Every structure is written in C-alpha cells, then in structure tokens.
C-alpha cells in the first residue's frame, strides 16, 4: 500500500515537474518575444524620429549643415545641397572636401573658439556673384565638451542686388537732379549780378532756366510714375482701346518734334483692339516714338506697326532707321537710367526712365517687351498685349 502511494506521488511530482518546465519554457519564450517586440518598437520609434527630423530639416528654407566633433559632415539638408548644387553624398566628408571653400574652415575654427559666430558673410567664387550669410554654433554636451558644429546658410544674393540697385538709383537720381539745378542756380546768380539789365541776355537765360525747370518737372513725374508702377499702387483702368486710333493721336502730338528733324512718322497698324488702360498705353507709344525720333536718323522715318500673334496676343512695334544699338546694350536698355550714349542722351533732354516706364506698364498689362537691333540698321522695340484682359 505504502509502496503504491509512493509510486503514485512520484508520478504526480514528475508530471508537475514537466508541466512546470513546459510553462517556464513558454513563459521564457513569451518574455523573449515581448523583449524583441519592445526592441523593434524602440528601433521603429528611433527610425520614425530620424525620418521626422530629416523631413523637418529638408523642409527648412535655409541650408543646414551638421558636423561631428572631427568636422566631418553628419547631415546636410536639401536646401543646403540646392544652394551649392551638390548631387553627391556628403556624409563623412569635411567641408573643404565637399565645397572647396576655405573661408568656411576659418569660420569653423572661430565657432569652436568663440562658441558662436553670427552674420558671417561669404561671396561664392562663381560667375553669378552669389552672397551667403552663415551662422555657426558649437554643439556641446552636459559636460561642456564639444560634440559638433551646426551651420545655417541664408542666401543674401537678392538682398545684395536690391541694395546695389538702391545705391545706383540714388546716385543716378542725385546726378540727374544736380545737373539742371546747377544750371538754374548758375543762370539765376548771373541774372542777379546784372545780366537782367540786358533784355536779350536775360531772355536767353530765362529760357534756359525754363527748359531745365521743365526737365526737373519731367524727371520728378517719371520718378513718381515708376515708383507707383513698381510698388503696385497704380491701378489700371481697363477699357476697349483702338490701337490704330490711339497711335494716330500720338503721332499727331509728336508731329512738330518729328518735323524739326525732317522725320516721317508712319502708322502701319492694322485695326487692332484690346482691353487696356488707354492713358498708360498712350504713355508707352509716346515714349517709344519719342525715343525713335530723338535717336533715329535725321530725314529718316519712324514706323509703328503690329499684328495679332498665333496665340491671340497683340504685338506692336516701333522702328527707326538710326545708328542702332550695340549687342551688349540690348539687354540693358530697359533698365532705369541706362543710356547707350550718355552724352547724346543728356543733350536730347531725356530722363533715362522712359524705357523702364514702358517695361513696367507693359508688364502690368501682362505683356512683354524686347528690342531688336543691328548697328547701322536702326532699332525696333516690340511689346505685346493679351488679346483679352480680365
């Protein structure tokens, strides 16, 4: 009896032992699976964070460069690569190896010493004259040890161009104002010193003063016009405009001026109608025809013509038979104050703003301007207008 109970107990204990081992193995397997799952989740979380960081960095407008403690590139965002036109992988390279810019190496040395360098400007050694502003800062750990460096690049090229344009504009305006003002002042002083007592001299001097006062008034009006056009403050009053009829009015207005040079004015425009601001379009045609009379050949001809293009736009041209424009000047004739022949232009009394005003008015109508010329073959100025303006 006792022997049977002993065998039974032993069998039960053996069963319990195997069952325990089986459950223990299952528990161990489950723990391993949970640990692996947790590790995968951590890895996925880290990967997601890394991807989010990359997306964030690539969405930045500024170029971003992260360097490790050995000055090797760890990360370069999309804006940085676009800024420098880089197509290859940069990770692991030094800045000098990647960009060949020794100025940046000097900037890194300063950042490591000073911890932070702000508003550092560099000019890229390419033909486009690009300028960059770079901010650099050292990255340190809790112990204050340097772990790397971060550099942020901002393209200053447009701001530099605007600043240069502003400086040139102020210099040109100052010069254009100074010349007639000096003449007016000089002749007024001469009159006050006694020339007014000679009627013939006084009349001649007063006419010179009047001419230069009108030149000042014209310059100021042109400056106000171009300022309003560039700022978008000038609103166009669109209405149907008969271009042939408008041109005929302009040619009639300029007839006396053309007659003084024995220049023939020809209106070859077909019947063309568009929606435009009639006053501003009058200004465009007047400026172009007036220039053609001034700089065209004496006893020559100025022709205004045009046609409807295949895409529905209207193209108008003003052609003279003067000395023409040098090839290098064709792309600049629409710039403010640009003069092909400075001495001759000032003798003619122009402000240097007429063609720039033409360009801005045409652009405001959604059109384009261009000039075609060969030396000795005259010049032709074209502008387009949309067939229908909304």
Average pLDDT over all residues of the chain: 81
Inter-residue contact 323 to 344 (CB < 8 Å): no
Class of domain 237-390: alpha beta
pLDDT at residue number 390: 45
Cα 314 to chain centroid, rounded: 27
> Is the confidence at residue 382, as pLDDT, over 90?
yes
pLDDT at 293: 92
* Of residues 372 and 337, more confidently modeled: 372
pLDDT at position 19, please? 64
pLDDT at site 389: 45
Tens of pLDDT, residue by residue over 180-197, are: 888 889 888 888 888 888
Please say if the pLDDT value at position 172 is more than 50: yes
> Residue 41's pLDDT is what?
65
| Mean pLDDT across 141-154 | 85
Q: What sections of the chain are H helices per DSSP?
A: 2-59, 78-84, 95-99, 102-114, 157-192, 199-231, 243-253, 255-260, 278-295, 342-348, 354-364
Q: What number is the average pLDDT over the span 37-60?
A: 61
Q: Higher model confidence: residue 360 or residue 18?
A: 360
Among the listed residues 54, 51, 52, 128, the one whose alpha carbon sits nearest the alpha carbon of residue 84: 128
Query: Could you give the dihedral angle defined by the CA atoms of residues 382, 383, 384 and 389, in that order, rounded to the nearest 10 degrees?
Result: -160
Fold topology of 160-234 = Helix Hairpins (1.10.287)
Question: Could you say which DSSP state residue 327 is in?
Answer: G
**Rg of the chain on CA atoms, in Å:** 39
Closest Cα partner for 379 from 276, 296, 301? Answer: 296
- Please check the confidence at residue 32 and state whether its pLDDT lies above 70: no
Looking at the predicted structure, is the pLDDT value of residue 329 above 80?
yes
**34-72: buried (b, 16+ CB within 10 Å) or exposed (e) per residue?**
eeeeeeeeeeeeeeeeeeeeeeebeeeebbbbbbbeebb
Confidence of residue 61 (pLDDT cuts 50, 70, 90): confident
Burial 212-242 (b: 16+ CB within 10 A, else e): beebbebbeebbebbeebeeeebebeeeebe
Looking at the predicted structure, is the pLDDT value of residue 343 above 50? Answer: no
- CB-based burial, 316-338: b 16+ in 10 Å, e otherwise: bbbbbbbbbbeeebbeebbbbbb
Distance CA 349, CA 300 (A): 20
pLDDT band at 45 (very low <50, low <70, confident <90, very high): low
Q: Name the residue among 305, 289, 307, 287 with its Cα closest to residue 353.
A: 287
User: pLDDT tens-digit profile of 275-301?
Assistant: 899 999 999 999 999 999 988 888 889
Q: Minimal CA–CA distance to 269: which of 317, 231, 234?
A: 317
- Among 341-345, 363-367, 373-377, top mean pLDDT goes to 363-367
Enter the tokens of residue 40: 């995968």
Supply the pLDDT for residue 370: 92
Average pLDDT over residues 75-97: 84
Q: What is the CATH number of domain 60-155?
A: 3.30.450.20
Whole-model pTM: value is 0.60
- pLDDT tens track for 217-243: 878 887 888 777 777 777 888 889 999
Q: What is the dihedral of CA 59, 63, 66, 72, to 10 degrees?
A: 130
Percent of the chain with pLDDT over 70: 80
Return the half-sphere exposure (C-beta side, CA atoms, 13 A cut-off) of residue 136. Answer: 23
Task: Yes or no: say if 20 and 12 are a contact pair by the CB < 8 Å rule.
Answer: no
Residue 345 pLDDT grade (very low, low, confident, very high; cuts 50, 70, 90) = very low
């Amino acid at each position: 009896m006792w022997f049977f109970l002993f065998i039974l107990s032993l069998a039960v204990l053996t069963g319990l032992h195997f069952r325990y081992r089986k459950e223990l193995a299952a528990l161990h397997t489950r723990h391993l699976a949970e640990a692996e799952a947790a590790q995968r989740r951590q890895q996925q979380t880290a990967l997601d964070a890394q991807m989010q960081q990359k997306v964030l960095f690539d969405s930045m407008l500024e170029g971003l460069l992260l360097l490790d403690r050995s000055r090797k590139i760890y990360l370069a965002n999309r804006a940085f690569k676009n800024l420098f036109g880089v197509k290859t992988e940069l990770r692991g390279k030094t800045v000098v190896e990647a960009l060949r810019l020794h100025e940046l190496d000097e900037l890194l040395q300063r950042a490591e010493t000073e911890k932070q360098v702000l508003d550092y400007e560099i000019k890229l050694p390419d033909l486009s004259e690009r300028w960059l502003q770079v901010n650099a800062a050292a990255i340190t750990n809790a112990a204050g040890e340097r772990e790397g460096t971060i550099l942020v690049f901002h393209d200053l090229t447009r701001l530099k161009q605007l600043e240069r344009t502003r400086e040139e504009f102020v210099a040109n305006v100052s010069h254009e104002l100074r010349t007639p003002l000096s003449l007016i002042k000089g002749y007024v002083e001469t009159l006050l010193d006694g020339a007014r007592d000679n009627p013939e001299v006084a009349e001649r001097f007063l006419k010179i003063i009047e001419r230069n006062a009108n030149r000042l008034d014209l310059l100021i009006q042109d400056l106000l016009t171009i300022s309003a056009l560039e700022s978008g403050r000038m609103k166009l009053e669109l209405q149907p405009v008969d271009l042939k009829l408008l041109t005929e009015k302009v040619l009639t207005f300029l007839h006396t001026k053309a007659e003084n040079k024995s220049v023939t004015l020809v209106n070859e425009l077909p019947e063309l109608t568009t929606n435009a601001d009639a006053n501003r379009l009058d200004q465009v045609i007047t400026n172009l025809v007036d220039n053609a009379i001034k700089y065209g050949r004496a006893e020559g001809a100025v022709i205004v013509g045009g046609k409807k293009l295949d895409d529905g736009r209207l193209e108008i041209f003003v052609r003279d038979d003067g000395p023409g424009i040098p090839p290098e000047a064709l792309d600049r004739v629409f710039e403010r104050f640009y003069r092909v022949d400075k001495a001759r232009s000032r003798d003619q009394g122009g402000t240097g703003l007429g063609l720039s005003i033409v360009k801005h008015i045409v652009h405001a109508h959604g059109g384009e301007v261009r000039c075609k010329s060969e030396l000795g073959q005259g010049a032709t100025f074209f502008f387009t207008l949309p067939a229908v303006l909304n």
